[in-house]
Structure 1
Amino acid sequence: MTDPSQRLGRVLIIAGSDSGGGAGIQADIKTVTAMGGYAATAVTAVTIQDTLGVHGVHPLPLDVIEQQARVVLDDIGADAFKTGMLGTVEVVERVAAILAGHPAAAVVDPVMIAKGGHPLLAEAAVGAVRSLMVPRATLLTPNAPEAEALTGIPVADLDGQRRAGEALLALGARAVLMKGGHVGEGPTVTDLLLTPSGETLLEGERFDTTSTHGTGCTLASACAAGIARGQPLEVAVAEAWAYVAEAIRRAPGLGHGHGPLDHGWRLRR
């Protein structure tokens, strides 16, 4: 059996582009590479974006999105999918069909709102994510507002994280990583990994920083890289979580708003 630490896992990322490089496809590629995987992409939309916010969103045609994914799968293949910004009901439906036709694991980041507050998922598409993407998720990675939108359950503390996560498992996700960055204001952040067999708490320092742009994209992609390399889910999530924490700690301080992480710190170690 191949040693997971030596395997080059192939991750097909289906998400939007961030011209500022802190989130979206750009952050995903950097993360998967840093975590020892091979990143391929199917871009869903081009955003005009920097650390100050999203200044424009330009969706790609549905057939172009699908063709990007199909040619990659036919030629290179994939050990895992990572989905991010999908934007509309039609894109959700098309991407869900791609995932349904392939056996690779899927890490689904239900991206709804950019760090600066710009909506990245149409309100009408929330139901499509709930019914089509959640049941196809090997791992679902919502933050508190996203979990509330998908379940209707308030997420203001650890108990809310647990109840919303359990509801998402009931909707068909095989595992849920409930992110705690939006929960509370104390000195620590707690993420909660829930599976049908139990739960794992991931607790660490809450950094006093504005360099948090793309943390959700980065965490989901790091998880996908580990899963693609053959790591057990709990190991992949723990390694991804530690990678993101250090990337925040080492953030380079670029831009005048919500700055990017240091995605390449592992490569310089």
Structure 2
Amino acid sequence: MAKKVVKAEMSFMDHLEELRWLLVKATIGMLVAASLVFFVSDFIFDQIIFGPTKADFITYTFFCDLSHWLGFADSICVTEMDFKIQNTNMEGQVTMLIWTCITAGFILTFPYILYLLWNFITPALYEKERKNAKFFIFISSILFFLGVLFGYFIIVPMSVNFFATFTVSDVVKNEFNVDSYISLIKTSVIACGLFFELPIVIFFLSKLGLVTAQLLRKYRKYGIVVILIVAAIVTPPDVVSQIIVSIPMLLIYEISIFISAYVVKKQLKENENV
């Protein structure tokens, strides 16, 4: 039977001290990455952040080609982005630069943060589980970056296009504050990145006995409704866009069910062998 790591018992204050150093190291790593991002900030703003404001952005081109392929003509083609982005605060652009670099730093150092987190929880794990550190960090990082890409290339362009073209009257012109625009990108990208971590979260919750595949299947219909609502909110009012957004999210949920079933089955088998 696998045994947990033997380590001197730590007091509550010792755990808090370790957690404090984890946060310090994570912050330092994030700030170092943010400093490096600063030197390529022109490229990040012009090509990445403001990329979805251009009609020739790769996502819009893909949807237009898809629309033609499906026989919908130009129904979901983006030909122009009729809106302006403005700054109304004196220190707005400086603040935007700082927080954009920090956000990018967090994304880039996410694997390092996972490594620190893994070291923090290691004492509570079995020896066999400790050996899976590299696998855990690799898979978690891949899922996070896939979520970030999904958020940036799918959620953000659809949201930008929807809000740019939505109007209650021709009298009202869309001129968005740059803070609002940047906030949309940061929220979408990081939220999707964290959502794609759902299989990892379910894995640990299943090992703790807090979640089972039966429970996830029981509430699947509610999960599907929530996903469809989210897809309807962030996409233009057409079925194709909603399906494109919904499929990856539904797939993540189904993978989580499979992982939970696998973990529970494996634990039952190990208990039978005891």
**Which TM-score tier does this pair reach, normalised by the shorter chain?**
under 0.3
Scaled by the length of structure 1, what TM-score is found?
0.23
Which has the larger share of helix? 2
